[in-house]
C-alpha cells in the first residue's frame, strides 16, 4: 500500500489544497471529547472503595473511587449529597450510580454521582465496625462514663416515632408498673434526615424545662439498613454527651447499634426499657409494708429486752431502806447535836455581853458626845464665816459670768461682757460698757444657810 508522500515540516503550517480536516482548537477538542464520553457513558454503576472524601463548604462532595488496579475521580453535587442515606467515609465500599463527564480545565474525566449505596451488608458491617473502633478510641464507650439511673424518675423523656407501636408499649408498661409523667419528642426513626432529628431531640431535652430525670431512645426491630440512623456519629455523640441518664432501646434483643454502646444502659426491647426505668409500685408498697413490720418487730423486741434487763437489774439492787437508814440515823444525830450546840453558844455570848456591859459607864459616853458636839459647832461657825455670800449682807457684791464662773479681775469682766451681780437679797444681770442691753431678770433669793442650834447633838435625856 502506498502512502502519499509527506512534505518535511517547515516553519509555517502548510495546508494542502482540498484538505477538509482543518486543525481543531483545544476547546473544540475538549468539547468533542466531553460529548463523546457523556453520550457513551450517560448512565453507569461503579463499585469501588471511597478514598480521600472531602465535603466542600458549598455542600459538594469530592472523592475517589478505587479498586486494586485503578481509580476514578467522583463528585456529588450538593442536591444529591443531601439525599444520601448514610454519611460517606474513607474505606467504605459503595456502588455509585451516575454519568461520566470530563473536566476540560484539567484534562481529566470523572463520574458525577447521583445515587450511592453501600455495596452489600458486608460493606455496611465493615463500615459499622470501623466507626465503632474510632468512637471507642475516643472513650465514648468507656464503662466509667456510664451513670446510674434514678430509682424513681418523676419525669421521663422519650425520643421515638409518635405513630408506632413502640410508644404505646412503653406507656402501657409504665402505667402497669408505676404511673409517671412522660414527655414525647416525636422523630422519624429511619430514612433520610432521621439521624439529625434524633440527635437534635436528645440535645434539646438537656435544655427542656422541666428537665426530665431519664431519657429513653427507642425504636422497633428492623434490618441493619432500617436501624442505620442509630449508628450515625452525630446520634452516638449526642447520646454520649447527654447530661441526662439515657436508656437505649433500639431493635430487638439481637439488634445492636452504636447508640447502645454510648448509652448509660441498653435495653433489649422498648418494653424492657420501661421496666428498667421505673420500679413496680405494688412491690414498693409491699416492701414498705415489710419494712414497717420489721421496724415494729425490732422495736418490740428492743422494748422487751430492755424490760428484761431492767428486771434483772432491779433484782440485784439492795433494799433502799438498808441503803438510806445509816444516813437517816446520822441526820437525826446531827439535829440533836445542833440544838445543844446553839444553846451552848448563846450562853457563851450572853456571858461575854455581861462582861463588856459592866465596863460601859453613862458618864463617859455623855462626855464624849459633848466634846464631839463642841467640835462640830466650831467647824460650822468657821464654815459660815468662810461662805462667799456672807459679806453680801454688808453691802458687798459678787461678780460672775453668765455661766456661774466668779470673776475677780476687771479684765475677766470686760472679756465676759455679760455679767451677773450677786447681792445679799438677789442677783442682777449686767453688761460691760453697754455692749449688750440690760435685761431685767426676776430676783432670785439665795437660800440662806442655817447655823447649827446649840444642843443639837446633845445626848437625849433618859
- Predicted confidence (pLDDT) per residue in 280-320, tens digit: 988 888 889 999 999 999 999 999 999 989 888 888 777 77
CA-nearest of 131, 150, 149, 128 to 140 is 131
Q: Which CATH number fits domain 150-279: 3.40.50.10550, 3.90.1150.10, 1.20.120.1810, 3.30.70.240?
A: 3.40.50.10550
Q: Is the pLDDT of residue 449 over 70?
A: no
The reply to whether domains 28-118 and 150-279 share a CATH topology is no
Tell how far CA 402 is from the center of its chain.
72
d(C-alpha 240, C-alpha 168), whole Å = 26
Strand partners, 65: 50, 72
* Residue that is written with C-alpha cell 456661774 in the block: 404
pLDDT score at 429: 86
Helix axes 194-205, 233-241, angle to 10 degrees: 10
> Is the domain covering 28-118 a CATH 3.40.50.720 domain?
no
Chain segment 190-237, per-residue pLDDT in tens: 988 899 999 999 999 999 999 999 999 999 988 888 898 999 999 999
Residues 6+ apart with CB under 8 A from 102: 30, 33, 34, 37, 108, 109, 110
d(C-alpha 45, C-alpha 385), whole Å = 145
pTM for this one?
0.50
CA-nearest of 53, 43, 137 to 89 is 53
pLDDT band at 448 (very low <50, low <70, confident <90, very high): very low
Cis peptide before 211 (omega within 30 of 0): no
* Residue that is written with C-alpha cell 448509660 in the block: 264
SS3 110: strand
CA angle in degrees (0–180, nearest 5) for 229-189-201: 85
Phi, psi (5° rounding) for residue 402?
Answer: -65, -20
Please report, for the chain, the start and end positions of each structural domain, with discontinuous segments joined by +. Answer: 28-118, 150-279, 282-317, 386-462
Amino acid at each position: 500500500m502506498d502512502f502519499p508522500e509527506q512534505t518535511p515540516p517547515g516553519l509555517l503550517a502548510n495546508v494542502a489544497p482540498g484538505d477538509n480536516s482543518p486543525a481543531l482548537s483545544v476547546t473544540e477538542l475538549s468539547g468533542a471529547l466531553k460529548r463523546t464520553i457523556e453520550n457513551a457513558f450517560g448512565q453507569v454503576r461503579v463499585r469501588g472503595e471511597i478514598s480521600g472524601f472531602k465535603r466542600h463548604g458549598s455542600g459538594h462532595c469530592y472523592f475517589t473511587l478505587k479498586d486494586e488496579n485503578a481509580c476514578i475521580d467522583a463528585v456529588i453535587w450538593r442536591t444529591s449529597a443531601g439525599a444520601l442515606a448514610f454519611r460517606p467515609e474513607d474505606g467504605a465500599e459503595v456502588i455509585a450510580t451516575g454519568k461520566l463527564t470530563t473536566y476540560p480545565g484539567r484534562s481529566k474525566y470523572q463520574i458525577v454521582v447521583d445515587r450511592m449505596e453501600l455495596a452489600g451488608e458486608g460493606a455496611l458491617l465493615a463500615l459499622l465496625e470501623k466507626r465503632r473502633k474510632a468512637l471507642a478510641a475516643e472513650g465514648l464507650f468507656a464503662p466509667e462514663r456510664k451513670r446510674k439511673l434514678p430509682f424513681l424518675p418523676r419525669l421521663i423523656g422519650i425520643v421515638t416515632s409518635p405513630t408506632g407501636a413502640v410508644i404505646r408499649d412503653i406507656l402501657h408498661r409504665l402505667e402497669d408498673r408505676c404511673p409517671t409523667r412522660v414527655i414525647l419528642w416525636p422523630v422519624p426513626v429511619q430514612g433520610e434526615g432521621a439521624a439529625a432529628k434524633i440527635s437534635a431531640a436528645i440535645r434539646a431535652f438537656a435544655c427542656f424545662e422541666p428537665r426530665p430525670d431519664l431519657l429513653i431512645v427507642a425504636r422497633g426491630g428492623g434490618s441493619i439498613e432500617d436501624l442505620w440512623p442509630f449508628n450515625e456519629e452525630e446520634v452516638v455523640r449526642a447520646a454520649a454527651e447527654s447530661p441526662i441518664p439515657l436508656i437505649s432501646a433500639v431493635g430487638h434483643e439481637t439488634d445492636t447499634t452504636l447508640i447502645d454502646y454510648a448509652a448509660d444502659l441498653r435495653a433489649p426491647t422498648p418494653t424492657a426499657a420501661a421496666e428498667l426505668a421505673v420500679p413496680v409500685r405494688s412491690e414498693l408498697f409491699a416492701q414498705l409494708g415489710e419494712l414497717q413490720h420489721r421496724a415494729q418487730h425490732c422495736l418490740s423486741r428492743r422494748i422487751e429486752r430492755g424490760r428484761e434487763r431492767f428486771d434483772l437489774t432491779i433484782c440485784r439492787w439492795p433494799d433502799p431502806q438498808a441503803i438510806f437508814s445509816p444516813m437517816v440515823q446520822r441526820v437525826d444525830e446531827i439535829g440533836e447535836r445542833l440544838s445543844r450546840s446553839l444553846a451552848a453558844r448563846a450562853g457563851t455570848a450572853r456571858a461575854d455581853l455581861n462582861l463588856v456591859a459592866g465596863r460601859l459607864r453613862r458618864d463617859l459616853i455623855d462626855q464624849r458626845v459633848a466634846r464631839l458636839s463642841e467640835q462640830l459647832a466650831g467647824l460650822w461657825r468657821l464654815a459660815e464665816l468662810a461662805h462667799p455670800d456672807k459679806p453680801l449682807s454688808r453691802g458687798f457684791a459678787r461678780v460672775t459670768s453668765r455661766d456661774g464662773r466668779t470673776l475677780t479681775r476687771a479684765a475677766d469682766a470686760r472679756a465676759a461682757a455679760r455679767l451677773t451681780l450677786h447681792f445679799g437679797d438677789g442677783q442682777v444681770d449686767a453688761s460691760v460698757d453697754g455692749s449688750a442691753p440690760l435685761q431685767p431678770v426676776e430676783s432670785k433669793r439665795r437660800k440662806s444657810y442655817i447655823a447649827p442650834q446649840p444642843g443639837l447633838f446633845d445626848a437625849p435625856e433618859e
